[in-house]
Structure 1
Amino acid sequence: MRGDKIYYWTYKIIRCGMILFWLYVGMDKIWIHEAFELSLVQQPLIGDFAPILSWLMPLLEILLAILLFMPNRKLESLGWKLSLLLILLFSIYIALGVNGILKNAPCMCSSFLTNVNRITHLWINGILFIVSLIAFFIRTKILNKGMQSTKNKYYINNQTVVSGKNYG
């Protein structure tokens, strides 16, 4: 039972962190919209789409936060899948810059990462991807066990467990 609680709370913490992360980076891009759009214009490959992407990207990031917050399992699952895909796409784009394929591409991410070099940014994205992947698999494990929580009570396969005691 203790392992189930650890999985449950680990998942909740990662989920909350990713909700806050996507909400912050999406809102930050809206708050600094002109600077964000200007950095997109300077990007190789995607610069021509800057007017559309400057609104689409932050709205997608905020949508991801909303999907991860949703109590509906299908919407939450969609949120995790899209979150993993978006982090992967951002990481590939950064890796192309690190490997010199996309030269002189300025950082187009949130304002707190603008002074971070590309390699550090790639590491941060890698960590976010791995943590999100772990949360996705923990979520699957939790759902397969039928585990959920209401305040201090845990329900595992329809048996009530409070503080590790089984109240069937």
Structure 2
Amino acid sequence: MRTPHVVVVMGVAGTGKTTIGPLLAARLGVPYAEGDDFHPQANIAKMSAGHPLTDEDRWPWLDAIGSWAHGRAGLGGVVSSSALKRSYRDRLRAAAPGVVFVHLTGDRALIEDRMAHRHGHFMPTALLDSQFATLQPLEPDEAGVAVDVTGSPEQIAERAMAALEQVPEPTV
């Protein structure tokens, strides 16, 4: 990538956003921001209790991520966000035109297994169905790439980097 993009690593819970995001940031030489850190405590409590977030719950979270991404425009950065719906991605793009999405995708059984074996995360496996039900994959007019999450984190990051090389430069 010739100019610094702001990359949003997206996907359902358990796809590895928190693992792959820092690897991409290191390869790109830019800062990483953990999307979960932008959640208000009420959102974390709601998800921890096994309740999916509503759009109204997500707007302040997305606005905070968008503000971070806006501040990194022209400098580059990587931030994680589920960004499951087109409207969520549109909101991020409105705040930070030129963002590029890396959609981590994978088999539901693999993702559920990974979620079941992680420790210390507030998102229960029980919410995976609601995540997949909400997911709207990237559309052809959205700047971004889909990357399969099979293999090691390093292999996934390398596939993501190769795919990002094909994304046109941002027009901001």
TM-score (norm 1): 0.28
More helix by share: 1
Structure whose CA Rg is larger: 1
TM-score by length of 2: 0.27
Relative to its length, the structure with more strand (as a share) is 2
